[in-house]
Structure 1
Amino acid sequence: MDNKIDFVITYLDGADPDWEKERDFYRNNQQKGTAHENGNSRYRNMDNFQFLLRSIERFAPWVNKIHIVTWGHVPKWLNVNHPKINVVNHKEFIPEAYLPTFNSNAIEFSFDKIPGISECFVNFNDDMFLNAPTLPTDFFVNGKPCLQMMHAPFMPSDALFSNNILALNKAVDTKYLINKKMFSLKNGVFAFLANVYMLPMLKFYGHFLGFREDHLPAPLTKTLYKELRTKLPDYFEFVGQSKFRNSQDIKSISDWVMLDYARATAEFIPMNSFKFGKLVNLDKEIDFDALFKSKYKILCLEDGDWVPENEFDEVVNKMNSAFEKKFLDKSEFEL
């Protein structure tokens, strides 16, 4: 078995005037979905991509390749000739009919087509950072993704989650509804108890009701993509053609459906993601120095529209100052 594990990182320079011009042209003429999905906060640049690469060099030196997926721009400081770095333009793996795209879901739905990508790979957003040493077995064991399984019914307001679970029920036979991995304590005690609590509802309704999702790097395989693309071709086509996020349409799904498919078919290794990583919504009150000394191996430092524009620079400067102390030295991925 090929034990290589690649990382895939979506990189965006939201201040690139050429990119902005193209984005605004299509957004003004074709935008669907909500302001939260496609507003300017989704594209703000936090100027800390170098710290993600430094964290990978220090805490995941075992990675095979780092595929940096881009509209066309890359940081001037990036060492594009490093043997582990592979800069991938959208045009190299996304069908021409779908381009240009400003929909992260559409981009992620074609990751398995990146030339040379390994069977097992981990999808990082550029706001996800390694905070402590990791092992390949934190992400995959025997070619299967390491995931927490926690049944949790979606809220009606979470349109994307509901779309995912509706699609999942089309792709997975109900014979998989109850599997022994949902009762593994390796998911964590809380997840185990939640699954026990959900068991009567699963039996009553006779289909999947939803899973708790982790906003952390996603361990994926080309096999997962192949199977779901075969079972849900119209969904993949719809997402690919959507230049912007559009959760208001029932066929708009996210790459989390791949992880749900692995959970639903028991093609995963149970793990406790509560201990593994943490999602942090940025604000002025965060003690980044303390956070970076925490036990978590992964941190997702998410910018969202809850950070007012007039506070954004202050929050980012505070965060990046803490990063500079934690990752003082340049990585080999920098010039």
Structure 2
Amino acid sequence: MRNDKKLLFITIVALLFLLALIPSVKIIDWKKKGNENKNNELEMLKKEIEKHKEELSIEKKELEILKNEIENTIKDFENKQTNCQTDTQKEKESEEKKKKIELEKEFLEIRKEILNDEGKIDLVYTWGGVTKSMSIRNRYNYELQYSLRSVDKYLPWVNKIYILINSDTDYPYWLKKQEKLEKIVIVDRCTLIKNPDHCPTRNTFAVFSAVHKVKGLSKKFVLIDDDVFINQPLTPDYFFSEDGLPKILQARHRRTIYKEDDFSDRNYPVYKWEDSSHLPKPMRRDFILKFHEKYPTYAEFVQSHKTRYKALSEEFSMILHEFFHEEGLMIEESPSKAKKYQIPFSHPEEITQEFDNIYKDLKTQDWKVFNCNDDFSTKPEVYKEQRKVLFRFYNRLFPEAPDFEIPNPDHEKYS
């Protein structure tokens, strides 16, 4: 009996052991299966990585090919650009060479004229001309007519007088027709400036840069503005030395004649300085050629501006002046006994006395040359009266009409 119980106990213990062992076996089996799954996943991941590596390798090769293509394209472009620049440079050099040949040919023709020069002295006005449609400030106010009268009266030795005008402006109504003029020659500005896009021009200095091209112009000549007047007899040695060098004249701006202008409400101060503007400028054609030979492209730059602007105007005058000075092609004289009057206009009855004072100053002082710089009212009715006062003043100074004027011109035409 006891043995049976013992056997039963052992059997129960064995069963309990087996029951306890079964979950462990299952866990081990599960772990084994889990490891197999992970290994499979790792294998798949490795395969994916290998696949991406192959794809990246292919893309890298494609990128290398693309990079090489881009580099080749850039090289081709650079080569074409270099060739293009070379062609452009060749064209530029060819164009510059062509211009140089044309310039040399032009200078040769001018030098032939200079060689045949008889030592006479011409006068040149760079007068742009006017039209009635112009503003009051730019209208014709008798300046050129009476400046010519002053030249006719006090510079009878002048050979020819060239007036450089724009073809789109009116012919001076008080001047005889060209075919009836012996001493005066009208020249179209556009015949002097090569580029038709730069014509007509209101830039005096653009014309000045081409003045040496005037056909038949004497070697020595005097450049003069239309608002500059000769006040007493002058001989050629006032403008040129015995050696033929131009005398650069300097004017001392002593004062301005001014009154308060009721229409512009401006006050004008008294100026005192020396300047060579608004004065006759003695010139030599051959000296101007020297300037253009040294600076062959500068004239084209100046001529490309149809109207003046301050920097360009000052620059051109200063450069030419300094060039003559440095090359020893001029004699500087100061003072030149020249006077500048700045005349801001007020009511006509108020300025009559001012003009009487100017007239007295010109007749009693030793002013050889003078300039009248006027400033008219913008009101037409006042401007008309002011113009009459100015006409009486000029006519009082230079009453004799030269033979180049038509008898009794209609001055009201441009009033």
Instruction: Give your verdict on TM over 0.5.
Output: yes
1:136, distance to aligned residue in structure 2 (A)? 0.7
**Aligned equivalents of 2:318, 2:132: Cα separation in 1:** 29
Q: 2:333 is matched by which residue type in structure 1?
A: M
The answer as to 2:358 corresponding to 1:258 is no
SS of equivalent residue, structure 1 residue 129 = strand
Q: 2:342 is matched by which residue type in structure 1?
A: N
The answer as to 2:156 corresponding to 1:61 is yes
1:273, distance to aligned residue in structure 2 (A)? 3.2
Q: In the alignment, is the contact (CA less than 8 A) between 1:108 and 1:255 conserved in 2? A: no
**Aligned equivalents of 1:319, 1:76: Cα separation in 2:** 18
State which of 170, 189, 200 in structure 2 corresponds to 1:90: 189
1:140, distance to aligned residue in structure 2 (A)? 1.1
SS of equivalent residue, structure 1 residue 282 = strand
Q: Which residues of 2 match residues 296-311 of structure 1 at below 5 A?
A: 296-303=367-374, 307-310=376-379
Q: In the alignment, is the contact (CA less than 8 A) between 1:53 and 1:333 conserved in 2? A: no
The answer as to 2:137 corresponding to 1:76 is no
Q: 1:228 is matched by which residue type in structure 2?
A: F
Aligned to 2:394: 323
Q: 2:121 is matched by which residue type in structure 1?
A: I
State which of 106, 114, 123 in structure 1 corresponds to 2:214: 114
State which of 333, 352, 356 in structure 2 corresponds to 1:271: 333
**Aligned equivalents of 2:173, 2:386: Cα separation in 1:** 24
State which of 232, 237, 240 in structure 2 corresponds to 1:140: 240
**Aligned equivalents of 1:301, 1:143: Cα separation in 2:** 29
Aligned to 1:225: 288
With the length of structure 1 as denominator, give the TM-score of the two structures: 0.67
SS of equivalent residue, structure 1 residue 50 = helix
Q: In the alignment, is the contact (CA less than 8 A) between 1:105 and 1:254 conserved in 2? A: yes
Structure 1 residues 314 and 233: CA distance shift in structure 2, 3 A:
farther
With the length of structure 2 as denominator, give the TM-score of the two structures: 0.55
State which of 96, 106, 120 in structure 2 corresponds to 1:4: 120
Structure 1 residues 292 and 15: CA distance shift in structure 2, 3 A:
farther
Structure 1 residues 248 and 131: CA distance shift in structure 2, 3 A:
closer
Q: In the alignment, is the contact (CA less than 8 A) between 1:106 and 1:242 conserved in 2? A: yes
Larger relative contact order, structure 1 or 2 (CA cutoff 8 Å, min sep 6)? 1
Q: In the alignment, is the contact (CA less than 8 A) between 2:128 and 2:202 conserved in 1? A: no
Structure 1 residues 279 and 261: CA distance shift in structure 2, 3 A:
farther
Which structure has the larger Rg? 2
Runs of at least 4 residues off by over 6 Å: none
SS of equivalent residue, structure 1 residue 11 = coil
Q: 2:131 is matched by which residue type in structure 1?
A: A
Deviations 1:184-215 (A, max 9, x none): xxxxxxxxxx9xxxxxxxxxxxxxxxx94343
Aligned to 2:409: none
1:4, distance to aligned residue in structure 2 (A)? 1.0
Deviations 1:41-63 (A, max 9, x none): 76232124221111111100000
Q: Please give the root-mean-square deviation of Cα atoms over the aligned residues, in Å.
A: 2.7
SS of equivalent residue, structure 1 residue 144 = coil
**Aligned equivalents of 2:147, 2:156: Cα separation in 1:** 13
Q: In the alignment, is the contact (CA less than 8 A) between 2:250 and 2:335 conserved in 1? A: no
Q: 1:63 is matched by which residue type in structure 2?
A: V
SS of equivalent residue, structure 1 residue 301 = strand
SS of equivalent residue, structure 2 residue 392 = helix
Q: 1:55 is matched by which residue type in structure 2?
A: S
Q: In the alignment, is the contact (CA less than 8 A) between 2:124 and 2:161 conserved in 1? A: yes
State which of 119, 144, 169 in structure 2 corresponds to 1:49: 144
1:7, distance to aligned residue in structure 2 (A)? 0.4
Deviations 1:154-181 (A, max 9, x none): xxxxxxxxxxxxxxxxxxxxxxxxxxxx
Aligned to 2:342: 281
1:143, distance to aligned residue in structure 2 (A)? 1.9
The answer as to 2:298 corresponding to 1:235 is yes
**Aligned equivalents of 1:68, 1:130: Cα separation in 2:** 17
1:103, distance to aligned residue in structure 2 (A)? 1.1
State which of 205, 211, 227 in structure 2 corresponds to 1:127: 227
Q: Give the structure with the higher percent helix.
A: 2
Instruction: After superposing the two structures, state which structure 1 stretch, 117-126 or 318-327, moved more.
Output: 318-327
**Aligned equivalents of 2:173, 2:136: Cα separation in 1:** 23
The answer as to 2:387 corresponding to 1:290 is no
Q: Which residues of 2 match residues 8-19 of structure 1 at below 5 A?
A: 8-17=124-133
Structure 1 residues 74 and 10: CA distance shift in structure 2, 3 A:
farther
Q: 1:144 is matched by which residue type in structure 2?
A: L
Q: In the alignment, is the contact (CA less than 8 A) between 2:249 and 2:279 conserved in 1? A: no
Query: How many residues are paired up?
Result: 251
Deviations 1:130-149 (A, max 9, x none): 11111111111222111258
SS of equivalent residue, structure 2 residue 339 = strand
Q: In the alignment, is the contact (CA less than 8 A) between 2:250 and 2:336 conserved in 1? A: no
**Aligned equivalents of 2:183, 2:195: Cα separation in 1:** 27
Deviations 1:48-102 (A, max 9, x none): 4221111111100000100011113321221332221111011222214321212
